[in-house]
Amino acid sequence: MRAACCRVDITPVVGTPLGGNVREDNRSRGVHDPLYANFLYLKEKESELLFIGLDIVGVFGPFVQTIKAKIHQRTGVLPQQIVLFATHTHSGPDVMESFKNDYDPLVVHYLEELEKKLVGGAVACLASTWEARLGVGKGNEDSLSFNRRIWMKDGTLRMNWEGLDPIEVDCPAGPIDPDLFVISIQDVQQRIRCLVVNFTLHSAILVGKDWLISRDYIDGLTRALQQQFGEDVVVLFANGAEGNINHINVRDPYQGRGFEEAERIGSRLATGVCEVIAGIEYQTDVELQAITKPIKLPRRTITHEQVEQAAALLERVNGKIPSLLDGVPEEAYAKEIIALSKISEPFVQTELQVVQLGNLAMVSLPGEFFVEFGLEIKMQSPFSHTMIIGLANDYIGYVPTECAFKEGGYEIKTARTSQLLPEAGGLVEEKVMQLLTQLKGGDCL
């Protein structure tokens, strides 16, 4: 097996708007820590894979397709063999398409430059491969993540960021995913050159804290691993099905929110990674395969009554959208209703991808899927280990469970960040299982 890895600085210029929350003044005022695109290339005989992890809040299908096509033109790596995913930091550039009418000019420029950096980074990465050994390990970390949907003793469902009284809390409305996957790549001198870390937790501890650009807890994770294994170690962080998972412990009223808390979580995660690495066994020959398939998912229909109500609300506030650190104000949802009403296409078309690294399957999900889907896919998978990569290759928004639609809550509110019908997640799960079965059988395109 041969491998290559590198990282490219993708930090936007100061002044570029930050994405991840609704804030009237969201222009960045400085850089707490740089953002990166991290690359990992693997080649086994005639099979190859390229992973690109981006420290941004999300990536959209058309942008990803352009990147993959240009990388294919320059390197020969097929688009279906490229996995491009976002860490989902809420303290990066506002590259999302929701809750605004158009992109800020600085964001437009950022995306133009990002395209060049990603294609150039891929070319540079593939130009310097080395003989490699690869190992996969899995640990358990159940102290850092929490299901953010909470049942109260009075029977209501609330979000855990709402300043809940612990005495009034009954229980979480769903599970977490404690799996901590680590892919470690060594050179022939048995020196770790690259790590892929997979954990399910919203990168939203900071949410544009002090208007500073940051990777969130991923910065603390990366620095701790580089202190342990060398400053040149490339670390790709792949989030999981984190749609309803964050860091807020409603039982701890003294929990912090700023950089100190992000550092605590990143450092603790790094400790878990090191524990996993200690037990990893490495191989020099690892089977590599990949399959991608398009899928159409049903979009909600916006009624005339919804549009009228939204327009009336916006008229009452003169179109002004208030700032909100967590969640989204109703005025912003009103704008989203009007935007969605102008879309005539009844389906959202996206792409699913499954990848094999030996006994490990990797499932790329194109948005913020509820953790229940990730857990179910892992349980049903024909592979001994299955890793979920959320926010990969596209962003179709939140994909809640059908049960969540009945319960209500933040994630199911209609917007471009949540526009699918309740059955969409089940359709994805069904298609993913078909692809995993095909992958296991070796019938790959």
Is-contact 234 40, C-beta < 8 A? yes
CA pair distance 209, 325, nearest whole angstrom? 10
Q: Are residues 261 and 161 in the same domain?
A: yes
The H or E element containing residue 61 is helix 61-75
Q: Which two tokens stand for residue 432?
A: 């993913």
Q: Are residues 137 and 181 in the same domain?
A: yes
Residue pLDDT tens, the chain, 445 long: 999 999 999 999 999 999 877 777 889 999 999 999 999 999 999 999 999 999 999 999 999 999 999 999 999 999 999 999 999 999 999 998 777 778 899 999 999 999 999 999 999 999 999 999 999 999 999 999 999 999 999 999 999 999 999 999 999 999 999 999 999 999 999 999 999 999 999 999 999 899 999 999 999 999 999 999 999 999 999 999 999 999 999 999 888 889 999 999 999 999 999 999 999 999 999 999 999 999 999 999 999 999 999 999 988 988 777 776 677 888 888 989 999 999 999 999 999 999 999 999 999 999 999 999 999 999 999 999 999 999 999 999 999 999 999 999 999 999 999 999 999 999 999 999 999 999 998 554 4
Can you give the residue range of the structural domain that contains 288? 2-293+347-441
Number of H helices and E strands in the chain, helices first, is: 9, 22
Q: Which residue has the tokens 């855990």?
A: 160
Question: What are the φ and ψ backbone dihedral angles of 311, each rounded to 5 degrees?
Answer: -65, -40
Q: Are residues 351 and 330 in the same domain?
A: no
Compute CA distances 329 → 214, 306, 409, whole Å. Answer: 24, 16, 13
Residues 6+ away with beta carbon under 8 Å from 12:
28, 35, 92, 93, 106, 107, 110, 213
The H or E element containing residue 219 is helix 217-229
Q: Are residues 186 and 266 in the same domain?
A: yes
CA pair distance 91, 35, nearest whole angstrom? 10
What is the reported pTM?
0.96
Q: Are residues 196 and 318 in the same domain?
A: no
Q: Are residues 312 and 242 in the same domain?
A: no
Q: Which two tokens stand for residue 373?
A: 């889907």
Q: Into how many domains does the chain fold? A: 2
Q: Are residues 404 and 306 in the same domain?
A: no
CA atoms within 13 A on the CB side of 372: 13
Last residue of a domain, one of 315, 341, 367: 341
